Structure 1
Amino acid sequence: MSGITKLSCDCGEVVLTLKADPFITTECHCTSCRTAATALEILPLARPMLSPNGGTQFALYRKDRVSIDKGISVLTAFRLKPESPTRRVVASCCNTPVFLEFQHGHWLSVYSSFWPEGASLAPELRTVVSDREGMADLDNDVPAGKLPTAGFYARLLGAWIAMGFKSPTIALSRPDKAISEMTA
């Protein structure tokens, strides 16, 4: 997959253009990603966000290689708590998960479930598998652990260097919502 990829939400109201390949594809097993995905998956019409093993899959792109071509007015960001440094952005028109953004980050983690069914990219590594206490063991088909995690951070740093240490801001027109407000 190289060149330009256009993705849209289920109803076509939101369109993203991704330039070039992601710098890495991951499956995150942190408690925050699992908690947010469980809450957001219950929204009407939402696509599943968790893989069968409980991880959340992403394709990570430098922010300078992502453009929101259409629908920024319907993007809604959810945070686990108002002060959380991560926001999970959903197309509120059809509740399609779009991306996760770290505050001050230079990349976007585009949800693999944003791709059409069967077209998402396989994860190259798993992160934060230490948060899986009490869950079934993972298959060894995707690397996980300390060395792959070091490689993950090396790729993040490489992408930041390639961007000249810039961290562009993505301003959304709707105020962020706390996931805790969804159940209130």
Structure 2
Amino acid sequence: MMNKLILASCRCGEIELQIAGTPILRGICYCSSCQEAGRLDQARHGVDCVLAEDGGTDYVLYRKDRVRCVKGHELFEERRLKPSSPTRRMYAHCCETAMFLDFTKGHWLTIYRDRLPSDMPPATMRIMTAKRPKGVILPDDIPNYPGYSVKFILKLLFAWMAMGFRRPTVEGVP
């Protein structure tokens, strides 16, 4: 599967990320930070919002050493909920497209689902569901974890082990 390459691009196509191999996982997050960032995006004119009606953010996790920017690196804009936050959300300045979330202390990159080809496998879990908006009832089609599940943590750990416990930066991303 390492030979499989996919592209993730902004809405106007000025930024492209090339991704090699299979994802670590695909999930939907309901944490407070994802919801707050989504609400801030919705308040900005023309921004590509990643927050679903139920408060979830659909994402696909990849190892950072398998992602590189092949076009438009100068068009990235970084946004953080707080200046000191280790989590940055990267947007395409050209068309206000949410591209990915980067936990800078981690070894993975959280790419927003809408940036990827339509044939991505379905989500396998919902995490941080205890933080979902009041009144939202989630289906039981996939596991709904109130926090971070052991399965989620193990998938990240195994990916990190395979990387030799390195924490690389994403090639071509400021």
TM over 0.5: yes
Give the length in aligned residue pairs: 172
State whether structure 2 residue 135 is matched by structure 1 residue 169: no
Which residue is equivalent to 2:76? Answer: 75
Percent of aligned pairs sharing the same letter: 37
Unaligned runs of at least 5 residues, structure 1:
174-184
Describe the superposition over 1:10-68 as per-residue Cα deviations: whole angstroms up to 9, x where unpaired: 11110000111111001000011011012123433322301232100110000011011
Relative to structure 1, the CA distance from residue 147 to residue 78 in structure 2 (aligned partners, 3 Å threshold; closer, same or farther) is closer
For 2:151, the equivalent position in structure 1 comes to 151
SS of alignment partner, residue 41 of structure 1: helix
**What residue in structure 2 maps to residue 26 of structure 1?**
27
Task: Sort the Cα spacing of 1:76 and 1:13 in 2 relative to 1 into closer, same or farther, 3 A.
Answer: same
> Residue 88 of structure 1 corresponds to which residue in structure 2?
89
Aligned to 1:37: 38
Query: What TM-score, normalized by structure 2, do the two folds share?
Result: 0.89
- Write the distance in 2 (CA, Å) between the matches of 1:147 and 1:58: 16
Instruction: For 1:153 and 1:27, locate their aligned partners in 2 and report how far apart those are by CA, in whole Å.
Output: 15
Name structure 2 gaps, 5 residues minimum: none
TM-score if structure 1 supplies the norm length? 0.85
Take 1:120 and 1:37, find their aligned partners in 2: how far apart are those partners? Answer: 22
Matched to 1:23, the amino acid is I
Deviations 1:146-173 (A, max 9, x none): 6971000000000000100000124754
Deviations for 1:76-105, whole angstroms, at most 9, x for unmatched residues? Answer: 111111111211111111011111011211
Cα RMSD after superposing both structures: 2.1
CA distance in 2, matches of 1:53, 1:81: 24
Aligned to 1:100: 101
